[in-house]
Amino acid sequence: MRRPSLADSVSAVRTRRAAWRASADGVVDTEEDLDAGAPEPEPASVAVAPRPPSPPGVPEGKVVSLPGRGDTFARELAGPAGAPTLLLLHGWTATGGLNWCACYGALARHFRVVSIDHRGHGRGIRSRRRFRLEDCADDAVSLADQLGIDTFVPVGYSMGGPIAQLVWKRHRDRVDGLVLSATSRNFRGRPIERAFFPVLMGLSAAARVAPPQWQTAMGRRVIGRRMDDDEFGRWARSEIAGNDPRVILEAGQAIGSFSSHAWIGDVDVPTAVVTTELDSVVPPHRQHKLAEAIDGATIHPVPGDHGAVVMSARAYVPQLVAACRDVARRIG
In tens, the pLDDT along 272-330 reads 999 999 999 999 999 999 999 999 999 999 999 999 999 999 999 999 999 999 999 99
- Provide the 10 A C-beta neighbour count for residue 91: 28
Q: What is the mean pLDDT of residues 179-198?
A: 74
- Least confident interval from 173-182, 196-205, 227-236: 196-205
Residue 32 binned pLDDT confidence (cut-offs 50, 70, 90): very low
pLDDT > 70? residue 62: yes
pLDDT > 60? residue 209: no
pLDDT of residue 25: 31
pLDDT > 60? residue 17: no
pLDDT of residue 35: 46
Q: pLDDT of 236-278, one tens digit each?
A: 889 998 899 889 989 998 999 999 999 999 999 999 999 999 9
Domain spans in the chain, listed from the N-terminal domain onward: 6-330
Buried residues in 304-331 as b, exposed as e (16+ CB within 10 A):
bbbbbbbebbeebbebbbebbebbbeee
User: Order of strands, edge to edge, in the sheet holding 62-66?
Assistant: 62-66, 70-77, 112-116, 85-89, 153-157, 178-181, 271-276, 298-302
Torsion 195-187-161-30 (CA) sign: negative
Buried residues in 39-69 as b, exposed as e (16+ CB within 10 A):
ebeeeeeeeeeeeeebeeebbebeebebeeb
pLDDT of residue 274: 98
Task: Provide the residue type at 21 as one letter.
Answer: R
pLDDT > 70? residue 1: no
Model pTM? 0.80
- Provide the 10 A C-beta neighbour count for residue 24: 19
CATH class entry, domain 6-330: alpha beta
C-alpha dihedral (35, 39, 41, 42), degrees to nearest 10: 170
**CA angle, corner 102, sides to 160 and 148, nearest 5?**
55
Q: Among residues of the chain, what percentage have pLDDT more than 70? A: 73
Return mean pLDDT, the chain: 82
**Cβ–Cβ under 8 Å, residues 140 and 234:** no
pLDDT of residue 49: 55
pLDDT > 80? residue 4: no
